[in-house]
Chains A and B, each alone.
Chain A
Amino acid sequence: EDKVVQSPLSLVVHEGDTVTLNCSYEVTNFRSLLWYKQEKKAPTFLFMLTSSGIEKKSGRLSSILDKKELFSILNITATQTGDSAIYLCAVNAGGTSYGKLTFGQGTILTVHP
């Protein structure tokens, strides 16, 4: 059975701190790993990673994948209160290029002023 595990499950920091969120996976047919930010209800797409060692970056957020060790990290630098959300990691392990996503439990990030 495909499995995605995120850590920590929750994290409380102050504005300006840097955080690292972890995602490890065990799947039979890896195609890609995705990160989402969920505020209220809708997950918002952040990154999709398919190749090891290539960092994806968007503003203060960055992510990298290690396909040998089967994990990914999401870094957020200079955190702001608006970064408070649930961060979800998901792996596409379906039979097609846009198949089933298996999600981790999520990391609840709280950023205090």
Chain B
Amino acid sequence: SAVISQKPSRDICQRGTSLTIQCQVDSQVTMMFWYRQQPGQSLTLIATANQGSEATYESGFVIDKFPISRPNLTFSTLTVSNMSPEDSSIYLCSVVLSAGTANSNQPQHFGDGTRLSIL
């Protein structure tokens, strides 16, 4: 298994500001994803972080609000821009550790999460 570290663990921010969350894995991984978990809700996929190219966003999420970088196979960042109280959530990165065979299934493993509160 891999160690998936997120920074910061938690933060309290003022509305209108932006925060960048980092996800670092101790080994090269095939896929990295970013999820949001709003209070009392389940996890919702924001985007797939693609190494060396633009992220693939899910419906309802846009690059201007949630810019994502993935410069290499072990690191990604998610920025929450121009924050409002509705952005108060837990933000989680997840990874697939290896591609396996072309038709195999691999589970996603999650980082510790970042609890974000906006005042």
Contacts and interface: CB of A to CB of B under 8 A. Distances in A.
A43 B110 contact: yes
Interface stretch (A59-67, A75-83, A95-103): A95-103
Nearest to A46: B107
Interface residues of A, number: 23
Nearest to A6: B42
Interface of A: 31-32, 34, 36, 40-45, 48, 50, 88, 90, 92, 97-98, 100-101, 103-106
Interface of B: 30-31, 33, 41-45, 48, 58, 90, 92, 94, 96, 99-100, 102-113, 115
B44 A98 contact: no
B112 A98 contact: no
Given A41-B92, A41-B113, A100-B58, A48 B107 contact: yes
A88 B90 contact: no
B112 A103 contact: no
